[in-house]
A = this chain, B = another copy of it.
Amino acid sequence: MISVILVGTGNVAQNLFQAFSRVNGVDVKQVIGRNKDHLDFASATTKIETDLEKLLPADVYILAISDDAISLVSNKINRLKGLIVHTSGGTSLETISNHKRIGVFYPLQTFTKGKIISFENIPICIEANSTEDLEILRKLGESLSSKVVNITSEQRKILHVAAVYVNNFTNYMYSIGEDICIENEVDFNLLKPLIQETANKLNVLSPKEAQTGPAKRGDQRTVHSHLKILKNKHQRELYILLSDTIKSKYGKEL
Contacts and interface: CB of A to CB of B under 8 A. Distances in A.
A160 B239 CA distance: 13
**Main SS at interface, chain A:** helix
Contacts of A151: 186
Contact of A168 (B147, B178, B216): B216
Interface in A157-174: 157-174
Nearest to A91: B222
Q: State the number of copies, please.
A: 2
B168 A215 contact: yes
A108 B193 CA distance: 8
Interface stretch (A21-29, A32-40, A46-54, A195-203): A195-203
Interface of A: 67-68, 90, 108-110, 112, 114-115, 117, 121-123, 125, 147, 149, 151, 155, 157-178, 180-181, 184, 186-188, 190-208, 210-216, 219, 222, 225-226, 229-230, 234, 237-239, 241-242, 245-246, 249
